[in-house]
Amino acid sequence: MDLQPVEYSLFSGEMSKVKKIWDETFQDPAPFTDYYFDNICKVNDIVVAMVNEKIIGMIHLNYYSVMYYGREVTAVYIVGVAVVPKYRRKGIMKGMMEYAFSYAKKKGVMFGFLMPKNRQYYLGIGFTHVYETKNIRLRIPKVLDYGKHFDPYTVCRLGMCDDAFFDVLALGINEALGKKYEIYCRRNPTYLKQMCLEHKCQNGDVCVLYDTSGDKIIIKGIFSYDVYGKTIYIDRYELFDDTFDIFFALLFDIGSKYGCEICNIMMPDDYYNSLFHNSKNQTVSWLAKNNLVEEITEGYGIMVKSLCDDSTENDICPERFFGQCFFDEIV
């Protein structure tokens, strides 16, 4: 097939036209897709490729405020990358990416990041893999009372919190992230509320583990979950203390209350190595003793691409991300 002239532009038409490509490409659950197009697509940018005024490809650009070695910069999370089957392997994706990079750069975006389904392709257009993950599938044991494992910490679900508490939590989470990482998406109340909406539509929520024994709230961990059928999915979390035992007890407790039998966790490699490669860790010993680990596979991880000129003083160097960044699976 001879390829007719392709035009690249920002999308500004009826959202149903790009939603159709999304549905055909990704097969996401309808509640999540509806949430995404009703909320995120009102504030993001969508780059499209068109032939004869027909959309044949798209890239979604979702912007985030990121702390980068002490300064706040704008980054773009690249999602919804798709080309209709008839036009694949014809350079359409590369053309959309080049347009997206140029546009984002003019907006002052410092770098882009994504979860790569095809790592080799993105390496070929300038991305660097900086953050590895594992997917861990566990059986949920039948234990009558997990709650006793939470002491001395308090657990809250953000979907049940009032607005004032979001301000307190955002400050606490940013403080905890800042002590551990040089690069992370900055939290604010709007960010946290958006997380709650995203997971609520998937039968989930966002949980925070914190310590109130002192004169202020100290965040010990945060994670979000979704529930589909008999499986609870943990796609993003961060622990700020040696609280693996509490973390597993908490997610098993939640899964059990939903009637789940399986727990799928996307775990950063540094956590996986410190947990599963430590034979003395009590949590690992307990998981092994009860034969709860069913499968461990490689995750997609995170890749980044600098959008800065090498000559600028604001240059973002991908090598500075190694071991210093935290990216949760936001949209």
Give 167-192 pLDDT, tens digit per residue. 988 999 999 999 999 999 999 999 99
Q: What are the C-alpha distances in Å from 79 to residues 60, 115, 133, 263?
A: 5, 8, 18, 25
3-class secondary structure, 209: strand
Task: Note the pLDDT of residue 197.
Answer: 92
Ordered by where they begin, the domains of the chain are: 7-131+301-326 (3.40.630.30), 134-298 (3.40.630.30)
Mean pLDDT of 225-235: 94
Q: CA 87, CA 89: separation in Å to the nearest integer?
A: 7
101-114 pLDDT, tens digit each: 999 999 999 999 99
264-285 pLDDT, tens digit each: 999 888 888 877 776 667 777 7
Please determine, for residue 329, whether its predicted confidence score (pLDDT) is greater than 80.
Answer: no
Q: What are the C-alpha distances in Å from 49 to residues 27, 91, 178?
A: 21, 11, 39
Q: CA 152, CA 246: separation in Å to the nearest integer?
A: 10
By percentage, how much of the chain surpasses pLDDT 70?
Answer: 92
pTM confidence score: 0.91
Q: CA 120, CA 129: separation in Å to the nearest integer?
A: 10
3-class secondary structure, 27: coil
User: Please, which pLDDT band fits residue 312 given cuts at 50, 70 and 90?
Assistant: low
Please determine, for residue 331, whether its predicted confidence score (pLDDT) is greater than 70.
Answer: no
Please determine, for residue 330, whether its predicted confidence score (pLDDT) is greater than 90.
Answer: no
Please determine, for residue 68, whether its predicted confidence score (pLDDT) is greater than 80.
Answer: yes
Task: Note the pLDDT of residue 247.
Answer: 84
